[in-house]
Structure 1
Amino acid sequence: MTQAPASGDGLLELVAMVGRLRGPGGCPWDAEQTHESLVQYLVEECWELIDAIESGSREEMIEELGDVLYQVLFHADLATHTPGEDYDIDDVARHMTAKMVARHPHVFGDREAETAADVVAFWDELKAGEKPHRTSVLDGVPQGMPALALAQKLLGKAEKVGVSREPTDAATAPTTEAELGDTLLALVASARAQGLDAERALRGAIRSLQDDVRAAEA
């Protein structure tokens, strides 16, 4: 059974509530926040949402999605009342709608996509057109990502310019996520036992990979 589209009433109620909290007679703490002061909370809420997704709990998903949504609305309300920024949640929503329509020409236009790989190819092509100032496949990759997630993303980017890293020997490589998790944890435990920082070590290897990518692009 197909569920009817949400009316949006609850979302509008939340938008109004954020405005009241940050407005005259509202909450002093909310009123003094800035985009910068909220960064730590945005990061924390995103990680808590990931925990909820992995738990499979409907109740936790609703709560944590709400917390992330609240951060988006908070930042938008800040911008609404910050001189020089002058945008609101409607501007954010309209921009996202236009962006998704443009990036789905196989849905909203006359192009055809039969596979997910076709869609990814569209996205790469369209993003290149949207951001012509980006001259490297590395441009736009958030360097603040956790090292492991950053490594996985950058390896995919590197392959596009013919740069790769040799994988572990197939005979000993993990074949399931559970085995991979155990292997990674054992590596971290080994590093810790030797007084090595696993996060810093991987970031060092990532910098080397990025140097190779930029050299290949030169």
Structure 2
Amino acid sequence: MTARICTLAGHFMVPFYRELILSLGAVSASAESINYILGSKEKGKAAVLMVGGAAESLYCKPGTYRIVLKKRKGFVKLALKNGTPLVPVFSFGETDLYDQVANPEGSLLRTAQEFVKKLTGIAFCVPLGRGIMQYSVGIVPMRKPVTTVIGKPLEFERNLDPSNEDIEKLHAEFTKAITELFEEHKSKYIENHENIQLVIE
């Protein structure tokens, strides 16, 4: 299986960084790129898409699990058109790698971040990590484990012209699968898991 990570097109406009992500096999998260991967005659290709994207990164805080999914339905339509199974995947501990400068909704910083995101498609987060020789401040990720769990693929018939009902139905199934995956594994990978809920925006 060859997996291609899909990322924002804006990342390919930054010199040197572009070459780095291309060397890692990343592609644009555009519909055209994803269709190209999924529509390939070669078998064993997968598109890895972080559905929440830039919007989700603004919610990241240690100890929280908040994902942006409710209005994200384009990936479902692409999967239906290509007849490609949707595989729910969840990473525990990812939000613990960095904190970020407080940016509650309505704050001046959050307003500026939303403006930049709308303008460029890239969320301007102010990460708080650790340093190389000390742990108080820096851009190096915290030393926290990240565990990725993979759910059962959602399989369906190919539909070249999916209706809104078809899309809504599969989206609901995917949302349920992600929620069940989280609930099934959270006790293994989250401290005080009884108090932690998956919030879906």
TM-score with structure 2 length normalisation? 0.29
Structure with more contact order per residue of length (Cα contacts < 8 Å, sep ≥ 6): 2
Of Structure 1 and Structure 2, the greater helix share is in 1
Larger radius of gyration: 1
TM-score with structure 1 length normalisation? 0.28
